[in-house]
Structures are given as structure tokens and as C-alpha cells.
Amino acid sequence: MLTKRPLLLLATGLLGGYAAAAQTPDAPPAAKAAAMSEQEVLFWLLLSLLGLLLLVLLLTGIVITRQMKPQLRQLYDLPLVHDTWSGRVLGLLVGDARLVQGDVRDELLDHNYDGIHEFDNDLPPWWKYGFYATIIFAVGYLAYYHVLKTGQLQGAEYAAEMQQAALLIAATPDDPNLLTTYQPLLVPAELSSGKAIFATNCAPCHGASGEGKIGPNLTDEFWLHGGEVNHIYKTIKFGINGKGMVAWKGKLSGKQILQVSSYVLSLQGTKPANAKPPQGEKEAVGKAVAKL
């Protein structure tokens, strides 16, 4: 008894600790069970019952077919049944795979070449029916899209989707397809704010004086995406995909973007040192001029 008692106490302690741990909120199984709603439980229960019912029906069908195989064979051998479509389906139940393999299997032809015999086998009926179905589909496709022109081809469908997308975008306040109607800011305080924003966010790519580095020179009369203040505003706000110009929408407010756009126009004709060669098309635009 002195030997068994410590073992019983140890086992009792382990079981008690395990039960307490199982009741803690951190236990994943309990949390998962609590997270499952009654509808989910009912869904999985019904799905399990349906699967069980289908399994029972399948097993019952197999048992009935095996027991009735002699009677089915007699029915299959009848001349009126043997060569019909339903008879071929019935043949699958009695071991005749003509419906899948075809009527002719491994029939030796009466000629050979260099001792090589040639067999004549039917194409599988399922393959032939599938091929016939593709022919019917091709004729219907040709008539629907190219003869009657009822359906839209890829190009027309893409154009229609793009038009619909443009309408959806136009319904939002931030439509990249529509230009704003702002005027350049001329107040020195506004341009000073634009200069500070430019120095923080734009100078790494366009240079501290707008001379151009990775990005284009902003001090000449050549522009890649338009040099009018609203074009500059659009470029800054929405960016240029694939050109390295990021969209500042969401990072800068509308007023800040207009301040930067106006400051960029104030750089026209400043001719900084080490200016990057012109890029884009020449465009004479008005600039915001103010003494900073």
C-alpha cells in the first residue's frame, strides 16, 4: 500500500490538472466548438445524413444487382434488348463493357508487315459521342457569334466592360477620367507650403530644385502628362502606373496636392544646375509666380 498510494496520488493530480486545462478559455477545441453556430451544426448534420443515405442506397443497389445478375443476364441476351442503347447500359451491370469499349476489340486483320500483326479496335463510344458534341458546339458557337452576331466577341465584350467600369468610376467623387477645374495658387504662403511638401516627398525623384533625377525635369516647357495645373494635380493624385510615379491620393490632402502643383508651376524657367534633358512634348502653360 505504501508503494501504490503515491502512484495513485500522482495519477489523480495529473488527471485533475488535465481537466482544469481542458476547461480554460485558451483550449482550441472548446473555442472552436463555441464559435460554431447552430446553423453550421445543422448544416453539417444534414450533409452527413445525406452522405450516409447515398452510401446506403449505393450498397443496396450493389447487393440487388448481384442477386439479380442471372435474371439481368437473361434479359440482356434477348435480341430486342441486346443491341439497344438501354441494353448496352444493362450490359455494364452484367459484365459487358461494349458501351465503354466498343463492339470490336482485338480483332486481328488479315495482313501483317514483317511479322507485325495489326488489330482493329473500335474507338471508345464515350470518345466518339464527346467528339460529336464538340462538333455540335462548334456549329452553334459559329452561328451564335459570327453568323447571327447575337453574342459579343472578346473585343466587344472588353469594350463594354470598360465602358461600364468608366460609368461606375464616374459616379464616384474621385474620377481619374475627369480633370479638376482648379486655378494655380499665387499666395506666397500657399506656395511655401507646396515647396515644403515638394522637398519632403518629391525632391528624391525630381531634385531639390525640380531639375530631375529619376523623374523628369519640372523646370522646362516639356511635359509627359500635361503641364497645366489640373493635369499636374491629376498626375500627383493618381500617379502613373508603370512609370514610377506613385499616387499620393490618401497621403496628401486635396489642398496639399494643389499647393504642390502650383509650386511645380512656379519652377518654370528657373534653369537649375545639372538640369535633366527635356522629356515629353513642349507645352506653353501659365505659371504661378510669387516671391518666396
Map out the domains of the chain as residue ranges.
188-282
The percent of residues in the chain predicted with pLDDT above 70, rounded, is 78
CATH topology for 188-282 is: Cytochrome Bc1 Complex; Chain D, domain 2 (1.10.760)
Instruction: Write out pLDDT tens, residues 174-192.
Output: 777 778 889 999 999 999 9
Instruction: Write out pLDDT tens, residues 138-171.
Output: 999 999 999 998 888 888 888 888 877 776 665 5
The answer for residues whose C-beta is within 8 angstroms of residue 177's C-beta and 6 or more apart is 166, 169, 170
Largest CA distance in the chain: 108
The DSSP bridge pattern shows strands 222-223 and 107-113 to be unpaired
The set of cell numbers assigned to 82 is 441486346
The answer to whether 91 touches 98, Cβ cutoff 8 Å, is: yes
The residue with cell 537649375 is 272
Separation of alpha carbons 276 and 192, rounded Å: 24
The pLDDT, as a whole number, for residue 89 is: 76
Instruction: Write out pLDDT tens, residues 57-88.
Output: 999 988 887 788 788 777 777 877 776 767 77
The residue with cell 511645380 is 264
Nearest to 229 by CA among 180, 289, 275: 180
Q: Residue 103: is it exposed, middle or buried by C-beta count within 10 angstroms (0-12/13-18/19+)? A: exposed
Return the SS3 of 172.
Answer: coil
